[in-house]
Structure 1
Amino acid sequence: MPTQRNEKTPSRPGLILAVETSCDETSAAVVENGTIIRSNVVSSQIETHKRFGGVVPEIASRKHVESITLILDEAVRAANVRLSDLSAIAVTQGPGLVGSLLVGVVAAKALACSLQIPLIGVHHIAGHIYANRLVHELDYPLMALVVSGGHTELVHVPAPGVFRVIGQTRDDAAGEAYDKVARAMGLPYPGGPHVDRLAHEADEGVPMPRVWLEPDSYDFSFSGLKSAVLAILNQAKMRGDVIHPVRISKGFQDSVVEVLVEKAIRASKEFGAKQLLLAGGVAANKGLREALADRCGREGLPLLAPPLSLCTDNAAMIAAAAFLKWDRGETSPLDLKAEPLLSLGGWSVKDPFFESVH
C-alpha cells in the first residue's frame, strides 16, 4: 500500500476516528492514543442476512450506504468530541468484500479531505490483532492466532506493527467451516456460536479426523473436516439413523480446536514468543478459549484475548492499529483504493531499526 511519510513524529495525543465496513458490520469509533476507547458504535446486519444463510455481498454494501452517516455521527457524539478535535481518519482498506470496503473508504476519504487531516488505511487483520492492545499491554515478540469467518492465520509479530504470516488456511477458514457444518445440521446463521454451545452439551463426540498437513507446516485445512461431517450426516440419513447434533458438534469442535491449539503453541515456542494473542470473531468461541488457556497455563505462556465485544468486527480495533502508523507519521494518500486481497506483511509499519538488525 502506498504511504506518505511525515518525518516529524506527531507529539500531541492521537484522537482517531475509525471506520470499519469490511463485511456485514457498519462500525465507527473514536479511540485516543490507540488504547482508550471514547466510543465504539457497531450496527450488525445479522438479521438481514439470516434468512439467506450467509452474507449476501450486494445487500451488505447497500446496508452500509444506508447507515454509515448515522453511525459516524453517533460515534462522534458518543465520544463527546468535535470533528475539529480529531487527529486522523482511519478506515479498513482490506481485506474484505470489495463493495462493503468501498463504502467505508469513500466515507473516510471524504471526511479526511473536508477536515484536512491525515487518512490512514488499515489492514483488517492488523485490527483484529491490535484489539488486544485496547485491553492488554503487549510484550514483543509475540505470536497471534487469528481465527474468523474469512481468516485462519498464525502471525509472528516481532515488533510493534511488524507482521509476518507464518501459517494460513489453504481452503476454508475455521469460522467458515463452522457455519457450513451448522447449516448442514439445520442450525441458524451464524452457526458458529450454536456449534460451540452444543459441543459443551455432549459427553462424547463423533470421532473426526485431524488435518496436520506436512510435519513442519503451520498452515491449516478445514475443508476435509467439513466434508467428513457431511459424509457422516449423509450416511446416517441413508441408514435411517439419527445422530444428535451435540455429538457431531463436539467431534467437529474438538478437531478444530486441537489443531489450532497445537500449531499455535508450537509456533510460539519456535519463534520465542513472549505472549500468544487470540484474535478474530472465532476468538469468542468458548471451547477454543478454554483449551488455549489450559494449554498456555501448562506451558507457562501468557495468553491474551480481547473481550467478546472486541472479537467481532468493530472500528475501535481499526483505530488501535491505525495508531501504529499515525504515531510514526505514516499516512495514506487520498487516492487510497479498497483492496479486498490486501497483504498483511505489506501493510506493516516502516521500522528502520527493526529492518536494520534483521
Structure 2
Amino acid sequence: MQNKSVFILAIESSCDDTAAAVLHNDKVLSNVVANQLIHQQYGGVIPELASRAHQQNIVPVIDAALKKAGVKKEQLNAIAFTQGPGLMGSLLVGSSFAKSLAMSLQIPLIAVNHMHAHILAHYIDEDGYDKPTFPFLALTISGGHTQIVKVNAFFDLEIIGETTDDAVGEAFDKSAKILGLPYPGGPLIDKYAQLGNPKAFSFTKPKVPNLDFSFSGLKTQILYFIQKKVDENPNFIDENLNDICASIQNIIIEILMDKLKLAIASTGINQIAIGGGVSANSGIRKTLKEAEAKYGWKTFVPKFEYTTDNAAMIGIVGYQKYLSEHFETQNVISKARIEF
C-alpha cells in the first residue's frame, strides 16, 4: 500500500513509561513520554502501580502527542501499539485504548513487538543519522533483554545470540544497588564511570558458548567483591566509587564486544546497530565508535530519545506494517512474552 501521506498514532506501554507519538510517514512529528517516578522509592518497577499510572497517563499523553504534532484524530490512518513483551497489566492499558480508538475511527490496528521496534528505530527519518542497509546485526540491550539479532529485512529477523539468564541492564542496576545507589542505577554507574579508572579492579568474564550471554555470575562476583572490600574497609565504596563503577562498566562492555566480534566473524556482516535502554550508555557508544575506526565496522547509534522506551519506535514499525497492510483484528491479544 503506497500512500504519500500516512499518519500513524503510536502507543507504548510495555513497562513504566506511558508514551505516544505521531509519525507522518517515517518522520516523527511528536514523541511524548510520561515517566512514573513512584517506582524509585521501591527500588524497582511495581507492576500493579505501573498499570494504574498508565490508566491515569494515557489520555493526557495521547492528547499531548496529537496537539504537539498538529494532527487531528480524524487525520490518522492507523493506530500502532506495543503488543509485547512487557508487563501484562501495562500492555493491556495500551492495547485496550488502541483498540477502542481504532474502532471508533474505523482505521487499521497494528500490533508491534517492542524489541522489534528498538531495532527498527534506526529507520526513523532523522537529520544526521544514517540508516543501516540489510543485512545488519542488531545488539539489543535493555533491562529485560540482551540479544544479537541478524536483521535480513524489516520483518525477517533471527536471534543468533541471547542471554541465558539476566539481561545487561539488570546487571547494571543490581550492581548499582549493591553500591547503595538509587534506582534506576544504570545511568549513575555510567556517570561515575566517566570519572574513574576502568582497570582499577578486575572481574572475570563468564564462559558462555557461541553467541550467548550470561550476567548472573558477574553480578554475584561483584557482590562478593564489594562485601569483602567493605569488611576490610567500611569506607571502601565512598573512597573508590568512580573506579568501581568504571571497572564494572568496563567488564560489561568487554563481554558485549567479545560477542559482537564473534558474531561478525561468523556471519561476515560488519554493520552493527544498537538499540534498547542500555544503548544510551556513553561507554558502550564510545567503544562502538572506536571499533568502527579500528576494525572497519559501520556502526549505527540511535538518537538518544529513541533508545529508552518511547512510542516513536513503535510508530516506525507501524508505518512499515501499514505499507504492507499487516493489520490486526480486535481479537489481537497482548503477550508478556513474544517472539519476532
TM over 0.5: yes
Match status 1:163 vs 2:157: yes
C-alpha RMSD of matched pairs (Å): 1.3
For residue 180 of structure 2, what is the aligned residue in structure 1? Answer: 186
Percent identical: 40
Maintained 8 Å contact 1:140/1:274: no
Match status 1:211 vs 2:201: no
Give deviations 1:188-236, integer Å, cap 9, x for gaps: 111011111111211233111112412xx11111111110110011112
In structure 1, stretches of 5+ residues that fail to align are 1-8, 345-358
* Structure-2 separation of matches of 1:265 and 1:271: 10
> 1:25 Cα deviation (Å)?
0.5
* Structure-2 separation of matches of 1:68 and 1:231: 43
Indicate which of 81, 86, 99 corresponds to 1:91. Answer: 81
Match status 1:119 vs 2:109: yes
Indicate which of 139, 142, 148 corresponds to 2:142. Answer: 148
SS in 1 for 2:332: coil
Maintained 8 Å contact 1:142/1:268: no
Give deviations 1:219-278, integer Å, cap 9, x for gaps: 111111110110011112333352422222122111110111121232134323252101
* Structure-2 separation of matches of 1:336 and 1:56: 26
* Structure-1 separation of matches of 2:138 and 2:144: 16
Q: Which amino acid aligns with 1:21?
A: S
> 1:14 Cα deviation (Å)?
2.0
Maintained 8 Å contact 2:120/2:154: no
Match status 1:297 vs 2:293: yes
* Structure-1 separation of matches of 2:291 and 2:270: 15
* Structure-1 separation of matches of 2:270 and 2:260: 13
Give deviations 1:119-164, integer Å, cap 9, x for gaps: 0000001111111111332211010000111111001001222110
SS in 2 for 1:51: helix
Indicate which of 209, 229, 238 corresponds to 2:231. Answer: 238
Maintained 8 Å contact 2:162/2:212: yes
For residue 60 of structure 2, what is the aligned residue in structure 1? Answer: 70
Q: Which amino acid aligns with 1:271?
A: T
SS in 1 for 2:333: coil
Match status 1:341 vs 2:332: no
* Structure-2 separation of matches of 1:164 and 1:287: 27
For residue 40 of structure 1, what is the aligned residue in structure 2? Answer: 31
Equivalent pairs, count:
332
SS in 1 for 2:206: coil
* Structure-2 separation of matches of 1:226 and 1:284: 21
What is the 5 A alignment of 1:166-315? 166-203=160-197, 204-214=199-209, 217-240=210-233, 242-243=236-237, 244-273=240-269, 275-315=271-311
Indicate which of 27, 47, 64 corresponds to 1:57. Answer: 47
> 1:294 Cα deviation (Å)?
0.7
Indicate which of 306, 317, 320 corresponds to 1:321. Answer: 317
* Structure-2 separation of matches of 1:170 and 1:333: 34
Maintained 8 Å contact 1:141/1:274: no
* Structure-2 separation of matches of 1:273 and 1:161: 18
Q: Which amino acid aligns with 1:202?
A: G
* Structure-2 separation of matches of 1:313 and 1:30: 15
Q: Which amino acid aligns with 2:21?
A: A
- Between stretches 87-96 and 156-165, larger displacement belongs to 156-165
* Structure-1 separation of matches of 2:153 and 2:110: 20
Q: Which amino acid aligns with 1:213?
A: V
Maintained 8 Å contact 2:146/2:213: yes
Maintained 8 Å contact 2:132/2:273: no
> 1:10 Cα deviation (Å)?
4.1
Indicate which of 1, 11, 19 corresponds to 1:19. Answer: 11
Quickly say closer, same or farther: Cα 1:272–1:160, change in 2 above 3 A.
farther
* Structure-1 separation of matches of 2:41 and 2:170: 17
SS in 1 for 2:187: helix
* Structure-2 separation of matches of 1:271 and 1:77: 45
* Structure-2 separation of matches of 1:220 and 1:191: 21
For residue 352 of structure 1, what is the aligned residue in structure 2? Answer: none
Quickly say closer, same or farther: Cα 1:178–1:162, change in 2 above 3 A.
same
Q: Which amino acid aligns with 2:311?
A: A
TM-score (norm 2): 0.95
> 1:326 Cα deviation (Å)?
1.1
Give deviations 1:75-94, integer Å, cap 9, x for gaps: 11111111121111000000
TM-score (norm 1): 0.90
